[in-house]
Amino acid sequence: MKAVRQWLFAAEAVNDKKSIVDEPDVYPVHSLDRMAEYQKFVATVMYFNDALDADMLNASLVKLLETGDWKKLGGRLKKDVNGRLQLHVPPRFSAEQPAVAYTHECLTEMKISDHPVAKSLPTHTHVPSLQPLPERGALRTLQVRPDFPASLDDLMAEDLPPLSLHVHTFQDATVVGLSWPHLLMDGVGRSALMKSWSLVMAGQEDKVPPVAGARHDVLSGLPAGASDQDEFFANKGLLRGVRLAKVLLYWGWAKLAGPGKVIRSMYLPKEIYDMLVGGIKEQVSLVQGQTGTKRYISESDAITAWVTRQVALSEPRPRPVTIMSLFNGRYALKQHLDPDAVYLQNMVLINYTTLSAEEARDAVAPLALACKAQLSEQTSESRALGFIQWISKRVDKTKHTVPLCGGEDSVLLCCNSLIRADLIRETRFAPAVLRAGEAAETRRNPAGSMINFFYGLPNEPTQFINGFNILGKDHSGGTWFAGNLAPQVWEALEYEVKQLGEGKSSS
């Protein structure tokens, strides 16, 4: 442990002594990364039930950013003569030009349960639980430092590194806030960052995977995909012009007049989660046996159908539902990517599932199959390529690149599953543990691992559309969720899992 700390801090000290005399190393910002929707900051709050060495967290992250093309993450955002974004990496990182904007609140005389904000962070439970998150303004104090830039323009004007590390150390816990402009990477890239950060912290820098596609966008040289993307979006009810204006006006009115959405975290212990997903899959098998259909329903498919049904049933009248699902293109484009490398860029694609009011209120098994039938086409390689190429042609020409689809009267539900990213279990900060925060007889996770995490947009107002995220599994096999849903939807979900706990199947 001592040797690892000396190695990390020695490397940082040497860098501080060097003067900057060379030109910056310039990296391009790739086409999908330039989408207007990605020019917002993302912030993750990670909760560890151990007291961690904050300086070691920073030093190991800096060390990672000094490795190969990982340094791209330390580049300063600039615009070229054509107004396109670039990342200018200093010849070497120093105190004057750090790799990471690092801040630390040392509160080691205080337990996390005594902190006015951190005490409200969700924690794992032995039974299913819905837990509130701190109010948005309070949560922001854990996500980012007080003088965090309000926009990408502010970040560029102040010549700041894009990665920010904001750590609160308590007597028995640590809260780590990590933020970055979304244009740097997506959720899979972030998972690779956390895993590689952990390796460097453990002195295993030789195991850090290389970064591929940092200087040349791998997505730009792929074969042509489906050429009917405009027709495809039209069939999904592409909203534009008067139809889009009507929908936006309706949403605005609903925000003012209707019940507000509530951000909650939900935890399902392994036994309950397995009962829920297993029960849905069993029902799907029965339906498939009756209809002769054969479709694989994943955990994420099952949960999405379950939540969609409760959203639909909570409406005062039957309404169609449009599910806007985030899907990582890496999974559809495997044969074009290096399996041993990391791609620090955005490859997230948007899939739309349009459901009639009757379909959305159907039993969960036929609903899951109806959703999967539409998703299967959109997650094919041809359709993924078509979407990427459709976006790339428009990214520098339009203010908002992501298409919005659905009926004018549809309920919109945005869903994202991070199960495959496995963020909780891929983060291993054991070398940085100063003190165990929870006794061995009660804890359910290894030393230096997180209990949970939450992510959001620190500079943006709370969204008024329905959103639900499957965050992933913890070390005990339980699963974390977070969402922005109407109170009656949360009540329905809570009732459903309570029924499961009593041995009754989900509907």
Q: Domains of the chain: which residue ranges?
A: 2-19+31-71+93-218, 220-420+460-501
CB 173 within 8 A of CB 47: yes
Out of 58-67, 282-291, 313-322, give the one with best mean pLDDT.
Answer: 58-67
* pLDDT tens string 180-221: 999 999 999 999 999 999 999 999 999 999 999 999 999 998
Residue listed under structure tokens 């969700």: 122
pLDDT average, residue stretch 245-259: 72
Percent of the chain residues past pLDDT 70, beyond the cut: 93
8 Å CB contact between 104 and 432: no
Amino acid at 99: A
- Of 66-80, 397-411, 473-487, least confident by mean pLDDT is 397-411
Confidence band of 18 (pLDDT split at 50, 70, 90): very low
SS3 content of the chain, % helix, strand, coil (to 5): 40, 20, 35
Mean pLDDT of 57-85: 97
Please identify which residue in the block is written with the tokens 């919005």: 404
- Please give the pLDDT value at position 507: 60
Asked: is 2-19+31-71+93-218 a CATH 1.20.120 domain? The reply is no
pLDDT band at 248 (very low <50, low <70, confident <90, very high): confident
pLDDT in tens, 151-163: 999 999 999 999 9
Query: For position 19, what pLDDT does the model report?
Result: 44
What's the mean pLDDT in 270-294? 92
**DSSP codes joined into one string, 118-154:** GGGS----SS-EEEEPPPHHHHHHHHS-TT--SSHHH
Q: pLDDT tens, 404-416? A: 888 888 899 999 9
Spatial contact of 143 and 179, defined as CB atoms under 8 Å apart: yes
From 39, 67, 56, select the one nearest 152 (Cα to Cα).
39
- DSSP assignment letter at 336: G
Mean pLDDT over 51-79 rounds to 98
- Kindly state the average pLDDT of the residues 438-445: 86
Assign a CATH topology to domain 220-420+460-501: Chloramphenicol Acetyltransferase (3.30.559)
| pLDDT on residue 293 | 80
Question: What separation, in Å, do the N-terminal and C-terminal C-alpha atoms of the chain show?
Answer: 52
Is pLDDT larger for residue 169 or for residue 82?
169
Band (pLDDT 50/70/90 cuts) for residue 20 is: very low
> How large is the average pLDDT for residues 354-373?
95
- Same CATH topology for 2-19+31-71+93-218 and 220-420+460-501? yes
Q: What pLDDT, on a 0 to 100 scale, did the predictor assign at position 462?
A: 67
**CA-to-CA distance for 123 and 98, rounded, in angstroms?**
33
Q: What is the DSSP letter of 324?
A: E
Confidence of residue 88 (pLDDT cuts 50, 70, 90): very high
Nearest to 136 by CA among 462, 432, 474: 462
Per-residue pLDDT at 233:
85
Q: What is the pLDDT at residue 51?
A: 98
Per-residue confidence (pLDDT) for residue 17, from 0 to 100: 44
Measured between alpha carbons, how far is 24 from 312 in angstroms, rounded to an integer?
53
| pLDDT tens, position by position, 310-354 | 999 999 999 999 999 999 999 999 999 999 999 999 999 999 999
Calculate mean pLDDT across residues 363-390.
92
In 3D space, the residue among 448, 454, 474, 475 whose CA is nearest the CA of residue 50 turns out to be 448
Cβ count near 435 (within 10 Å): 13
Assess whether pLDDT exceeds 70 at residue 259.
Answer: no
Distance separating alpha carbons of residues 219 and 344, to the nearest angstrom: 12
What confidence tens digit (pLDDT) does each residue in 105-148 have? 999 999 999 999 999 999 999 999 999 999 888 999 999 999 99
2 — pLDDT class (breaks 50, 70, 90): low
For 356-490, strand residue ranges (E) read 411-417, 433-436, 450-456, 466-473, 479-485
Average pLDDT, the chain: 90
pLDDT at 246: 81
Residue 471, token pair as written in the block = 């965050």
